[in-house]
Amino acid sequence: MNFRDHFAQTAETVEALTRNGETSLTNYYGEQSDFLRFNKSAVRQPGSVTDCEVTVDLIAGKRRTSTSLRLTGTKDEDRTRLEHAIAAARTALEGAPQDPHLAFNAACQSSEHVAQAVLPSKNQAVEAIARTGNGRDMVGIYAAGRIAYGFANNLGQRNWHESDSFNLDWCFYHAADKAVKANYAGVEWQDTELDRIAGSAAKTLSLLSRPVKTIAPGGYRAYLTPSALHEIWSWLGWGGFGLANHRTRATPFLRTVDGTGSLHRQISVKENTVEGLAPGFQSDGFVKPQHVDLLSGGSYRDCLVSPRSAVEYGVKTNGANEGELPQSIDMAAGTLARDRALKELGTGVYISNLWYMNYSDRNNGRVTGLTRFASMWVENGEIVAPLGVMRLDDSIYRFFGSELEALTAERDFIIDASSYGRRSVDSMRLPGALVRDFRFTL
């Protein structure tokens, strides 16, 4: 399916069905994806998906209704579906309540972004996966292809975003609850990079047969991989950067805002839309800036501001989504060479992955979670034993503040692997972090 032509056709149809006194907003989503599910290093379930979904909002005064439907790509059938959906939305609009924070872009800021990537063919992907897992129990999922977003309104605005990407998310399984998690994602497939990641994971896998070491609760020197930081930032993004959370004082960065605390000067984070996979516009038609500085030099800089928050608090929107969640987090790199991380760690804990993250004290930036997969005990710069599952409970003002020693010069590009309903376009560029004292409670 040619998504671009189909979007143009859909937008014209909705505009034609919009009556005087109404404003229509059309949000279009298209996806063509290949999926490969595999275990024991063999493909068990190949598949391909072509999907197209459209959401139409009707606005009259301060009233608004929304309807979503899937389209077929057949002109007459799609028109019939849109006619029925818009008629139902118009009926619902009559009884919709007034919305004092309703906002949409009436300035007609059109835009276009098309980013074609170097993706492997299905056969190339299968061959690479088989080679990577040769002789090992490899389990995971590969997803790749094109994702397209479009926005249109009956005022003449048109926005288009189209990008290709791949995401290979897998584990090397050892036994019982022991496995090594790995990920390779991006927009330009390179066999050498996959081999590097797989080689590192295989080396760790070979160590999982050693007896498990148990350490007492307390503070330990630690190295957190980019994957571990991905879990931390994924959680901090919920309620961390939105204007509404800041105005209601429900953000883990509250102390950086009120001046009672700060992060390490190495901590700089931005919403880097121009280098991410997410579209540069949102569902009300507002265009996002190329980037928003969220944290800089350890201090808080700007919030993500949705159109609704902009109306409620009397400020200008920067095109954030309704939940004011970051989609393209970019954390600045440091100077520590990645291949020196274990040597610089010396003796302590190597944390490969985290999960079940939550706040234990949101306003003081304290988070809790569990180690997952291959977290290891390191002595004199060498991994000596796998560790059992541990629970962390520590503050960002410590591990991203007073106790942070270094960030790696190399960063990983991590794409959210979720595909429930549609493939995610959320992404992060993250270094690893060396922490002087990282606290575990059990």
Q: Which of 156, 174, 205 is the last residue of a domain?
A: 205
pLDDT, tens digit (0-9, with 9 covering 90-100), for 262-274: 899 999 999 999 9
Pair 108, 233 in one domain: no
Q: Is residue 212 part of a domain?
A: no
Query: Residue 213: what pLDDT?
Result: 92
Q: Is residue 83 part of a domain?
A: yes
Taking the C-alpha atoms of residue 270 and residue 116, their distance in angstroms, rounded to an integer, is 24
Pair 342, 434 in one domain: yes
Taking the C-alpha atoms of residue 344 and residue 318, their distance in angstroms, rounded to an integer, is 40
> If you ran DSSP here, which 8-state letter would residue 345 be given?
H
What is the rounded average pLDDT of the residues 232-244?
95
Query: Residue 420: what pLDDT?
Result: 85
Query: Residue 176: what pLDDT?
Result: 79
pLDDT, tens digit (0-9, with 9 covering 90-100), for 355-404: 999 999 999 999 999 998 889 999 999 999 999 999 999 999 999 999 99
Taking the C-alpha atoms of residue 300 and residue 254, their distance in angstroms, rounded to an integer, is 9
Q: Give the domain CATH number at 27.
A: 3.30.2290.10
Pair 64, 174 in one domain: yes
**Confidence band, pLDDT 50/70/90 cuts, at residue 221:** very high
Q: Is 311 exposed, middle or buried (0-12, 13-18, 19+ CB in 10 A)?
A: middle
Query: Residue 385: what pLDDT?
Result: 95
Q: At what angle do helices 75-94 and 3-17 cross, to 10 degrees?
A: 40
> In whole angstroms, how large is the CA radius of gyration of the chain?
24
**Residues 217/442, Cβ–Cβ less than 8 Å:** yes
Pair 241, 114 in one domain: no
Pair 321, 413 in one domain: yes
Pair 162, 245 in one domain: no
Pair 41, 141 in one domain: yes
Q: Is residue 349 part of a domain?
A: yes
The C-alpha angle 330, 413, 279, rounded to 5 degrees, equals: 65
Pair 281, 371 in one domain: yes
Taking the C-alpha atoms of residue 427 and residue 270, their distance in angstroms, rounded to an integer, is 12
Q: Is residue 213 part of a domain?
A: no
Q: Which of 155, 184, 205 is the last residue of a domain?
A: 205
**Residues 249/363, Cβ–Cβ less than 8 Å:** yes
Query: Residue 292: what pLDDT?
Result: 98
Pair 39, 61 in one domain: yes
Pair 163, 292 in one domain: no
Considering the chain, what is the average pLDDT of its residues? 94
pLDDT, tens digit (0-9, with 9 covering 90-100), for 38-91: 988 888 899 999 999 999 999 999 999 999 999 999 999 999 999 999 999 999
**Three-class DSSP labels, 136-180:** CEEEEEEEEEEEEEEEEECCCCEEEEEEEEEEEEEEEEEECCEEE
Quote the domain boundaries for residue 107: 3-205
Query: Residue 178: what pLDDT?
Result: 85
Q: Which of 205, 236, 253 is the last residue of a domain?
A: 205
Whether the predicted pLDDT of 13 surpasses 90? yes
Q: Is residue 211 part of a domain?
A: no
Pair 298, 372 in one domain: yes
Q: Is residue 167 part of a domain?
A: yes
What is the rounded average pLDDT of the residues 289-312?
96
Query: Residue 165: what pLDDT?
Result: 94
Distance of alpha carbon 74 from the chain centroid: 33
Q: Is residue 210 part of a domain?
A: no
Pair 69, 177 in one domain: yes
Please give the tally of structural domains in the chain.
2
Nearest to 228 by CA among 327, 329, 357: 357
Q: Which amino acid is at 97?
A: P
Q: Is residue 276 part of a domain?
A: yes
